[in-house]
Amino acid sequence: MKLAILGTGMVGQTLAGKLAELGHEVMIGTRNAAETMAKTAPGPFGNPPFKAWKDAHPAIPLVTYAEAAARGEIIFNATSGGGSLEALRLAGEANLGGKILVDIANPLDFSKGMPPSLTVCNTDSLAEQIQRAFPKVKVVKALNTVNALVMVNPNAVAGGDHHLPICGNDASARATVTELLKSNFGWKHVIDLGDITAARGTEMMLPVWVRLMGTLKTPMFNFKIVQ
Ligand SMILES: NC(=O)c1ccc[n+]([C@@H]2O[C@H](COP(=O)([O-])OP(=O)(O)OC[C@H]3O[C@@H](n4cnc5c(N)ncnc54)[C@H](OP(=O)(O)O)[C@@H]3O)[C@@H](O)[C@H]2O)c1
């Protein structure tokens, strides 16, 4: 498939690398390719600048958000929560069309340091803001509740015996994303929570996730639902 990853951070790099390795035609989108390649500062968690990753993945094109969205059949939003609406505006309504947008972003506000707070919660969510701004797009909220390395390799945690919630207004888009996650990354347990308002809850899992990471001292964990 032709898959567009919007975002050059750890999530964008990890998803693009894995999906390309699996044989998909992947492109990664950014605001300005030349500026992104010229950055020399390490990422927010000390990860190497984007150029180091790109040099190791020469076959994956770095293009504008608009070009990535135009070429991708399915689009992944791996931009920072505060920048997602702007990134999608730059991607362009016409390029996004009626495609599936897998929204991985979390509305985290780090402006007052750690722990981050949520810029939207309770009665609304970032995913709903995106869905309202782009009504034709089939927004599916997924993967935002796990670390990037777990997204593409769930078996690295407890042999994959844990759960991933997804939601979105279009049932067939939810089914397509579920199948994509299972067949590409090996997810065993994807829980379909129904319409996009469920993203209020899945985004509000983040304060707990951040706190757990501080206690467990590793991002390699996930939630397991038992009945
Ligand atoms: N890190 C994880 O393991 C993890 C796990 C689950 C969910 N998430 C969520 O996934 C998203 C990506 O996380 P990340 O750590 O990979 O990277 P990030 O540092 O949160 O985001 C980097 C990306 O956001 C874009 N961006 C920032 N401000 C923008 C703006 N105003 N307009 C347009 N684009 C903007 C950057 O664009 P340029 O390329 O142009 O600089 C870059 O591509 C976040 O929402 C995060 O909460 C992360």
Asked whether residue 110 carries a pLDDT value surpassing 90, the answer given is yes
Structure tokens at 205: 């899992």
Asked whether residue 212 carries a pLDDT value surpassing 80, the answer given is yes
Ligand 1 atom 47: residue of nearest CA:
106
Q: What pLDDT, in 10s, does the model give residues 130-156?
A: 999 999 999 999 999 999 999 999 999
Structure tokens at 63: 């293009």
Our answer on whether the CB atom of 145 is closer than 6 Å to any ligand 1 atom is no
What is the pLDDT at residue 182? 98
What is the DSSP annotation of 148-180?
HHHHH-GGGTGGG-SEEEEEES-HHHHHHHHHH
- What percent of the chain clears pLDDT 70, i.e. is strictly above it? 100
Report which of residues 15 and 47 the model is more confident about: 15
- Asked if 85 and 56 count as a contact pair (C-beta separation under 8 A), the reply is no
Our answer on whether the CB atom of 109 is closer than 6 Å to any ligand 1 atom is no
Our answer on whether the CB atom of 106 is closer than 6 Å to any ligand 1 atom is yes
Q: What pLDDT, in 10s, does the model give residues 60-74?
A: 999 999 999 999 999
